[in-house]
Structure 1
């Protein structure tokens, strides 16, 4: 059986076309993936803007009582260009950072002990939950009496909120660690120090990072209350001053700034968590 040159040439062209077809189909995939990511990122914020305008023009409230996003953005740019807002954001972020760092640093060892020793946990659990239920704003008069009206008082309120939020997360997580890991390490001849260093600490790190994230969110939620203590600078102070003069666009702007700074810090912490816990993904 003979094959004509033209037929061979045609088969070669079809083969080349088949080889090139996957490449043509694969080219749009990165673009579609990029568009999907953009849509996933912008989608929730577009929904918020749509809801904002819907509420403003729904008739439930006077339109003048709800500033438009453009008015809030203009107020943001005005305060930012004058440098006032940067100082306020810095002061609030600094207070939250110090309060969360101190609160979590104390909560991690306390939560570890409560989670590891069941008897101690049963003894202290009512006390921990009692103080956790107290709103920090209710403690402001006592904080002023004992710590004055300076930066220390504001940090103490944030410390209080961060400590009791993170200690609960920490000891609940530690109490759920399976003792099977300890038994396996003991069977392999590990010493008590090796068990603590190579087994318990790696298992406790995820819970410590989760406690830090929870404490960060609670601290930002408590920021306005902490800055009730004679604060001259800070986003909470901006909101309080604006409420005294009924400057709704400034109030909205301060709230949005708090939300975005808290979101940025949480995203950074989540990225750090993925880096520190990459060994878990490999094990899985």
Structure 2
């Protein structure tokens, strides 16, 4: 009798325990997620940004040490691979005395203006066009074939056409760099638009959103990570095309400096110019990564 009474006074006694309520499960999940690392790259034991920075620094130091060791032991002649000290000395010399009667800062400024001018033009034209290609089958059918046709062609292949059509001035150089940047930016923007979840778009329309509001609040935030990645890839193609753009009738610029020095076997000047181009491109890439962390902080998070 007492056992029966106890079962009646204590609901659920002797029966399988009921599942916890939804709010309790949500609280447990939130505590679980708070206990995980929240910084990018620190999920499930993957090194974080601080560890990655020191690994990158160590990798660069190892490469420079290996370079110095090879030249110090004389395994390679200085004509082919000068020592790091020779590169630094050449950099100081060009910084102080210039190259071909032009200061080093002017060479850097001319090349940077060409690349970033073409890059900004490619972004202004390519991003809206890519978004339109992603949203409209008609626009995609019109512009996709010509972009995909010229995209695999190396810039040196249509450099003669640029010279024939636009001469040997700045227009042909900037246009050549523009074409190398435009394709990845436009195609990346198109791919980003198509990555937007159709459920979110339908939900926005069901709440009465206009087409502009859907693009502004749903499609564009979903496409931003791929658009920024496409911009990083595009600027890399721009710096790659710089040397080709400055091959013809150029008297200033880093590409001109590299090509002119190679004709006189000034290997230290060639490597110094390559290092400067790489340093500028890498600095811009770091800037784009910072912009990504601020504009799309959810990218790469779990």
TM range (shorter): 0.7 to 0.9
Deviation at 1:161, TM superposition (A): 0.5
Alignment of 1:190 onto 2:209? yes
Identify the residue that residue 95 of structure 2 maps to in structure 1: 80
RMSD of equivalent CA atoms:
2.6
TM-score by length of 1: 0.79
What residue in structure 1 maps to residue 120 of structure 2?
A: 101
Q: 2:61 aligns with which of 36, 46, 50?
A: 46
Farther off after superposition, 127-136 or 190-199: 190-199
- Asked if structure 2 preserves the Cα contact closer than 8 Å seen for 1:96 and 1:219, the reply is yes
Following TM superposition, by how much is the alpha carbon of 1:61 offset from its aligned partner in structure 2, in angstroms? Answer: 4.3
SS of the residue aligned with 1:190? coil
Deviations, residues 10-36 of structure 1 (Å, cap 9, x unaligned): xxxxxxxxxxxxxxxxxxxxxxx9x96
Q: Give 1:6-85 correspondences, 5 Å limit.
A: 39-53=54-68, 55-56=70-71, 61-83=76-98, 84-85=103-104
Aligned mates of 1:163, 1:201 — CA distance in 2:
19
Contact 1:239/1:255, CA 8 A, preserved across alignment = yes
Cα offset, 1:95, TM superposition: 0.6
Aligned length: 250
| Structure 1, unaligned runs of 5 or more | 1-32
Which of 247, 251, 273 is 2:292 aligned to? 273
Residue deviations 1:228-262, cap 9 Å, x none? Answer: 12111110000011011000000000000000000
**Residue 217 of structure 1: CA displacement?**
0.8
- State the distance in 1 between where 2:78 and 2:163 align: 40
1:112 to 131, 139, 160: 131
Corresponding position: 1:127 with 2:107: no
Q: Distance in 2 between matches of 1:37 and 1:205?
A: 24
CA distances 1:56-110 after superposition (whole Å, capped 9, x unpaired): 4788743542100000110001111235211111111111110000012111112
Report the CA distance between 1:176 and its aligned residue: 2.2
C-alpha separation between the residues in 1 aligned to 2:52 and 2:225? 27
Determine if contact 1:88/1:233 at 8 Å carries over to the other structure.
yes
- Pick the aligned partner of 1:237 from 252, 256, 266: 256
Q: What TM-score results when the alignment is normalised by the length of structure 2?
A: 0.75
- Asked if 2 retains the 8 angstrom alpha-carbon contact of 1:140 and 1:229, the reply is no
Deviations 1:34-55 (A, max 9, x none): x967733521211221332455
Which structure 2 segments of 5+ residues have no match?
1-47
Inter-partner Cα distance in structure 2 for 1:264 and 1:125: 32
1:131 is displaced (CA, Å) by 0.4
SS at match of 2:232: helix
